[in-house]
């Protein structure tokens, strides 16, 4: 977003909530620390140079990015009440649902739905599209991107 909307990014009231179940991952994310392997997984070199600083074997995210990210502990199968974790415009759950059975996947997707604004967008990994079947989401295809909107 900082790349696509550089002027707006500085003034937007933007908040990204990153969640994980692993305390060690939460700590690393809060620190903004990533290994060489992690930054090599799709981050263009120009963005790495612009937004990260090398510290030893790792890379640390710039404060301009870290200021908008809040890292929290969350279990997707037992999310906190909507009042504590809700009102989202965009939810990205990629390559996580594959670890759950179909009943839990549906419960997670419905829980995510209850936390989204009516104009929100849900992004899933391509192998997880079936998880929205029978839930209150509508599939939308835009060029090569598939996403889901609340009904």
Lowest mean pLDDT among 2-11, 87-96, 132-141: 2-11
pTM, full prediction? 0.82
Q: Indicate the pLDDT class of residue 90, thresholds 50, 70 and 90.
A: very high
For residue 122, what is the enclosing H or E element?
strand 116-124
Q: Indicate the pLDDT class of residue 100, thresholds 50, 70 and 90.
A: very high
Instruction: Return the CATH fold of 76-151.
Output: Rossmann fold (3.40.50)
Query: Taking all residues of the chain, what is their mean pLDDT, rounded to a whole number?
Result: 91
If we measure between CA atoms, which residue out of 122, 127, 115, 125 comes closest to residue 137?
Answer: 122
Q: Percent of the chain at pLDDT above 70?
A: 100
Residue 1 has a pLDDT of 82
How is the chain split into domains, by residue range?
Answer: 1-73, 76-151
> CB-based contacts of 122: which residues, under 8 Å, 6+ apart?
90, 91, 92, 93, 109, 112, 113, 116, 132, 137, 147, 148, 149, 150
Q: Per mean pLDDT, which of 4-8, 81-85, 97-101 is the most reliable?
A: 97-101
Residue appearing with tokens 């549906």: 106
| CATH architecture of the domain with residue range 1-73 | 3-Layer(aba) Sandwich (3.40)
């Amino acid at each position: 977003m900082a790349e696509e909307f550089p002027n707006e990014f500085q003034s937007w009231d933007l908040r990204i909530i990153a969640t994980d179940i692993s305390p060690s991952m939460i700590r690393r994310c809060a620190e903004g620390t990533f290994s060489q392997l992690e930054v090599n997984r799709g981050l263009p070199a120009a963005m790495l140079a612009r937004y990260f600083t090398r510290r030893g074997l790792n890379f640390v995210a710039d404060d301009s990015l870290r200021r908008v990210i809040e890292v929290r502990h969350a279990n997707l199968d037992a999310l906190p009440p909507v009042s504590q974790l809700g009102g989202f415009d965009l939810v990205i759950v990629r390559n996580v649902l594959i670890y759950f059975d179909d009943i839990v996947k549906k419960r997670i997707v419905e829980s995510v739905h209850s936390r989204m604004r009516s104009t929100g967008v849900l992004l899933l990994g391509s192998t997880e599209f079936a998880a929205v079947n029978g839930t209150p989401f509508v599939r939308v295809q835009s060029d090569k991107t598939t996403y889901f909107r609340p009904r």
